[in-house]
Amino acid sequence: MTSYLTLARDATAEVEVKRSRFLCTLRRVDDEDAARAVVAELRAQHWDARHHCSAFVIGPRSELQRSSDDGEPAGTAGAPMLEVLRGAGVSDVAAVVTRWFGGTLLGAGGLVRAYGDAVRGALVEAGTRRRVLLTELALVVGHTDAGRIESELRTRGVEVLDVEYAATVRLLLGSTDPTVVEAHVAALTSGTGTVERVGERWV
């Protein structure tokens, strides 16, 4: 697994069914604690709502998946919300649907549709962005050459993740194909520059 989809931005969307309001909030999250913090935040913010149902998918392989009906009949809220997230193929996402009861019971089918539709609407607003696993490479160069080499590498599509200035300049580069970066560096430094593979990073 070297790439996956996540949200392009946080988003909200609301649907109304027989005077019940369903407000979906979508947030990017890095772990389960962050997802649960979103639920707690919305529960405090919308204290007057009856339910705060949630679903989240976390990890490059969507390895962590959770859902909660928060008092709605079992399987009518969290599960359909989670199914919408799975269907969209997104991860590192927390979805919370806050419901204000409108006085009319919607039945199991009506609840499943309303919670699912709220998440679908928010996903349209959020859009998606691809996260890619890059190999991190460190290149140490002199101050006189640093600007030119950094600019040339960017022009050639190499991701410059960080630049550290000291007695020399250390460029932290990222690429899905480290051998290509190594070839660019060799060409730009007439064979004097070498890169060191130092790790991996999702960007």
Quick: pLDDT tens for 40-96: 999 999 999 999 999 999 999 999 999 999 999 999 999 999 999 999 999 999 999
Residue-level pLDDT at 195: 87
Determine the angle formed by the axes of helices 107-126 and 78-88, rounding to 10 degrees. Answer: 40
Residue-level pLDDT at 123: 98
Q: How far is CA 18 from the centre of its chain?
A: 33
Q: What is the DSSP annotation of the chain?
A: --EEEEESS-EEEEEEETTEEEEEEEEE-SSHHHHHHHHHHHHHHTTT-SEEEEEEEESTT--EEEEE-TTSSTTSSHHHHHHHHHHHTB-SEEEEEEEE--SS--HHHHHHHHHHHHHHHHHHHH-EEEEEEEEEEEEEE-HHHHHHHHHHHHHTT-EEEEEEESSSEEEEEEES-HHHHHHHHHHHTTT---EEEEEEEE-
pTM of the model: 0.83
Structural domains in the chain, CATH included, are 3-126 (3.30.230.30), 133-202 (3.30.70.240)
Residue-level pLDDT at 191: 83
Instruction: Tell how strand 20-28 and strand 64-68 pair up.
Output: unpaired
Residue ranges of the chain with per-residue pLDDT less than 70: 1
Sign of CA dihedral 185, 188, 190, 192: negative
